[in-house]
Amino acid sequence: MSRILFIIVLLVVGYLLLKSWQRKKTVNQDQPPRPITHGQHMVRCAKCGLYVPEEQAVGYEGKHFCSLEHAQLTRSGRGS
């Protein structure tokens, strides 16, 4: 009788291990190597290199900036 119990325990432990291993595997697949992921596309500031969501970024001359200030700094620094 105790042997049957032992086999049942082994099966349950094996099943739980397999389940947790599969969960780990899927979690790793769900995380692409990006700085921040909330379904948003991140762009890099051309001035300071900060990553900002594309909808919050300031676009200027095909480049992205974290703030209007950095876009203006780049524009004013062009002549020199």
Binding site for Zn ion (CB under 5 A): 45, 47-48, 50, 66, 70
Least distance in Å: CB of 23 to Zn ion?
Answer: 38
CB nearer to Zn ion: pick between 42 and 50: 50
Length of the chain in terms of residues written: 80
Can you read off the two tokens belonging to residue 21? Answer: 């291993």
Query: Least CB distance from residue 44 to Zn ion, whole Å?
Result: 9
Q: Give, as one character, the DSSP assignment of residue 6.
A: H
Least distance to Zn ion, CB of residue 43, Å: 11
Longest dimension (CA), the chain: 88
